[in-house]
Chain A
Amino acid sequence: MSDQWTDRLSEYLDDELPPDERSALEQHLRHCAACGAVLADLKRIVTRARGLEDRPPERDLWPGIAARIGAGSGETQAIDLAAARRRWSFSLPQLIAAVIALMAASGGAAWLLHPAAQSSVAVRDTIPTTPVVAGGNLSARNAGDRSRIAGQSYAAAVADLERVLTQGRGRLDTTTVRVIERNLATIDSAIAQARRALAADSANVYLNSHLAETMQRKLDLLRQAAALVSSVS
């Protein structure tokens, strides 16, 4: 089956016909069942093509790639990121606990015991398994202890990474150092701003999450910077 419109059906399907030709083709489709059937088949083909699943190769190609990029001999140059992540990994609940601890230091810990915060649906949805913030299973004292520990761990991780960066900054080029310092300043400013806002509204769930995320961002940036230092050592 073929007529003057058959070869235009793909363009019609992809919405690439000029308006006048599109109208004419639609007019044709109203009474040409054959073209309608072809068009339906083409739609099915496009749908199937878009739904194809990706498939990895049958054998692992990484050893060959690693050999070609020299990864085997250079492994000792790369930072053990997995170990670093294990050491400096914080979940959002842990970070919020750290936020609470840091807020406590500045007199804003009332949020921890605030009924509105403890019953907040938003908090439960975000961190469903976190008794420190959302649940009523732990005593306030235990929650406070955990918050303090998380706060101390976070501060220690930041201090540790900042020390690596300070010691190694001379090995980075000046552009990189400038970018890192500018970004750290931006993040520190955001952290300070969030803390000021929380001092006025300690039960604000959004502000607490925002502060936790910003603190995580600082940690990530410091971790990347430390990795850069390590890679050029």
Chain B
Amino acid sequence: MTPPGTGVTTLEHQATGRTDSDAVDATLAASGDAHAFERLYRAHLGRISSLVRRMLGDEDPDDVIQDVFVRAWQKLGTFRGESAFGTWLHRLAVNVILGRRETLGIRRQRHLDGDAALETVPSRRTTPEISMDFETAMERLPDGARQVFVLHDVEGYRHEEIAEMLGLATGTSKSQLHRARMALRRHLER
């Protein structure tokens, strides 16, 4: 097991009083401590798992979740503590997910898909659990609209950030978001 870094920056934060447990564990993990990395994994698994599942739709998320954490381990030496560890990990996860989408051949062209896909979503009446129904409706959105909706409305990214991540114009990100919201509205009002 090769230690990916020294974690000097986090030690600097220690002296200034930023003693959050993630930063400590990130430092230890960067110096090769797998136990510390497992704590980070368990602390952030829920959010990363949900992000992967919502972004990938029907794809099996487990492999991608594993890829995210393996990549995080490899990249820990680049974590400078300029943002919270969770923010850093989340952005890395988005990159891994987008890379996987490329591998799967889900290209930008899909952002131009029609929104007829949502017509196949079962209505609220067939699924008693409303939040799960909402998740199901999200999964059935056209890929491009779903990506933008998840990143903007669920994860809180700005259109400029989304446009950069997805390689789109900002205006396209905005129009995809509106499209996704209107499609969800049509589903949820059934």
Contact = CB atoms under 8 A, between A and B. Distances in A.
Interface in B30-64: 31-38, 41-42, 45-47, 49-50, 53, 61-62
A36 B3 CA distance: 57
Chain A, interface size: which category?
35 or more
Interface string A165-209: 000000011011001101100110000000000000000000000
B174 interface: yes
Interface residues of B, number: 58
A217 B19 contact: yes
Given A55-B49, A55-B50, A56-B49, A220 B178 contact: no
B181 A10 contact: yes
Contact of B62 (A41, A52, A59, A217): A59
Contacts of B73: 65, 69
Per DSSP, chain A at the interface is: helix
Nearest to A64: B66
Interface of A: 7, 9-11, 16, 38, 41-42, 45-46, 48-50, 52-57, 59, 61-62, 64-66, 68-71, 73-75, 77-82, 172-173, 175-176, 179-180, 182-183, 186-187, 217, 220-221, 224-225, 227-228, 231-232
* Shortest beta-carbon contacts, A-B, top 6: A74-B1, A183-B15, A71-B34, A54-B46, A10-B178, A49-B153
26 contacts: A16-B159, A38-B182, A41-B188, A42-B185, A49-B149, A53-B131, A56-B45, A57-B49, A61-B66, A65-B41, A65-B66, A73-B1, A74-B34, A75-B35, A78-B35, A81-B33, A81-B35, A81-B36, A173-B6, A175-B8, A179-B8, A183-B11, A224-B10, A224-B24, A224-B27, A228-B31
Interface of B: 1-3, 6-8, 10-12, 14-15, 17, 19, 24, 27-28, 31-38, 41-42, 45-47, 49-50, 53, 61-62, 65-66, 69-70, 73-74, 131, 134-135, 149, 153-154, 156, 159, 174-175, 177-178, 181-182, 184-185, 188-189
